[in-house]
Structures are given as C-alpha cells and as structure tokens.
Chains A and B, each alone.
Chain A
Amino acid sequence: DTGVSQDPRHKITKRGQNVTFRCDPISEHNRLYWYRQTLGQGPEFLTYFQNEAQLEKSRLLSDRFSAERPKGSFSTLEIQRTEQGDSAMYLCASSLTAQETQYFGPGTRLLVL
C-alpha cells in the first residue's frame, strides 16, 4: 500500500500530557498538510509543508502545537500540555505539487481525558 499512513490510529491521553503523531506521505509528494476534524465538523487546516519548509500555520495552531518535516519526508505533529479541547481527528494529506489532488491518510483520533 503506497497511500498516506498515520501512526498511531488512536491515542488516549490525560490532560497535560504531550503527544506526538506521525504522518508518512506518498513517496515523492512534496506537499504535506495537517488538518483537524472535530465531531460533526469538516476538517480544518492547521499547517502545511513544501519539502521540509513549513509554509503556513493556521491561527488554530496555538503555541502548544508544533509540526516538523525533517528531510522533507515524514512529518510529526506534537501537542504539548494537551487539553480536552484538543480531542479530535488529526488528518494528514499529501500532494505531488501545490495544485494537485490532496490524498488523505486514515487519521489519528485523539481523546484527551
């Protein structure tokens, strides 16, 4: 399977803990995107990368959130000092270039207790 993969698929944590999610894009895709989807809502853009460069961050991405894409391959999204409001599905997508189709991974579902 050469699609976008995300790990873990599910994460339960206690409030105040740090969590890190990983996304592996489709091989050779330069663009990588993170979205967040809360219950009953559509995905909302968080941030995206062109290779290893982070080009844009949404205002939804508070200081507790950080994303990296070292070497322009996989990406990690870290949430520090998690809050109950962080509970959501975190989706990763990749595309070959800027205007090409974004292909989504299965998501990581986070529950903060």
Chain B
Amino acid sequence: AQSVTQLGSHVSVSEGALVLLRCNYSSSVPPYLFWYVQYPNQGLQLLLKYTTGATLVKGINGFEAEFKKSETSFHLTKPSAHMSDAAEYFCACSNVGNEKLTFGTGTRLTIIP
C-alpha cells in the first residue's frame, strides 16, 4: 500500500518570497512521484514528476522538487512566488505495477500582495 501526506493544508507566502510545500510518501516499492496544481473549478494540471534518474526535477512555472529517499520526501519549491501561483497543490504517487495515483489531501497556497 502507498500513502501521501501533505503537511499544512494552508500555506501563505508574500509575493516574491520562497514557496515550500511539503510532501512525504510511504511506499514499499520505488515510487513515482507527482505534483499537480488545481485552479478553482478546474481539473488538475501536472507541474512535475519524478520516475527515475535525477532526483531534482524541474517543472513548469518555475517550480521544482527534490526526491529524497532517505527522508521519503518530495517537497515542492519555487524561489519567488507570483500572484498567479495561488491555487491548490496536490502531491501524488504511484509505482510500477500500481499505476493509479494516490493523492495527498492538498495544500492551498495563498499569495499575499
């Protein structure tokens, strides 16, 4: 079985400040890890994913995440927040042989002008 925990259901940062959204996973086999973003009344859009290889993954809109096996983490960061980053962010995992995505409960990111 696999699970995803997102610490902090709400995160507020000032415009221009660092964004850090936390994600920890539990998986008995090597995971595939994802970050999705959801804007109000819309579906989910993939920000980035880790499958194998380089542990630092760069995604769209300036986001990146680092897979740390020792910490079972896949935190999402962005150096400088923009007002358009305000949305809900979901971390998810799957793995070889179990392709369905298991999602965390989400983190709502608010940007303070």
Instruction: Check B32–A42 contact: CB distance below 8 A.
Output: no
Bound Cα distance A14, B92 (Å): 33
With A91-B43, A106-B42 known as contacts, the answer to whether A42 contacts B100 (CB < 8 A) is: no
B77 at the interface (CB under 8 A from A): no
Bound Cα distance A111, B32 (Å): 33
Minimum C-beta distance from A74 to chain B (A): 16
Bound Cα distance A45, B102 (Å): 7
Collect the chain B residues with CB atoms within 8 Å of residue A44's CB.
Answer: 103
The one of A4, A48, A99, A101 that contacts B43, using a Cβ cutoff of 8 Å: A4
With A31-B99, A99-B32, A101-B49 known as contacts, the answer to whether A43 contacts B105 (CB < 8 A) is: no
Bound Cα distance A95, B44 (Å): 14
Question: How many residue pairs at the A-B interface have CB separations less than 8 Å?
Answer: 54
Chain A 82-102 interface 0/1 with B at a Cβ cutoff of 8 Å (1 = within): 000000000101010011011
Collect the chain B residues with CB atoms within 8 Å of residue A105's CB.
Answer: 43
Interface size on A, residues (CB 8 A): 26
Which chain B residue shows the least CB distance to A47? B100
Bound Cα distance A103, B36 (Å): 10
Bound Cα distance A95, B32 (Å): 15
Which chain A residue shows the least CB distance to B94? A99
The one of B92, B99, B105 that contacts A40, using a Cβ cutoff of 8 Å: B105
Segment 36-94 of A: residues with Cβ below 8 Å from B: 40-45, 48, 56, 91, 93
Which chain A residue shows the least CB distance to B96? A99
Would you list 24 pairs from A and B whose C-beta atoms are within 8 A, ordered by A residue? A4-B43, A33-B100, A33-B101, A35-B101, A40-B9, A40-B105, A41-B105, A42-B90, A42-B105, A43-B103, A44-B103, A45-B100, A48-B99, A48-B100, A91-B43, A91-B44, A99-B32, A99-B51, A99-B96, A101-B46, A102-B101, A104-B45, A106-B42, A107-B42
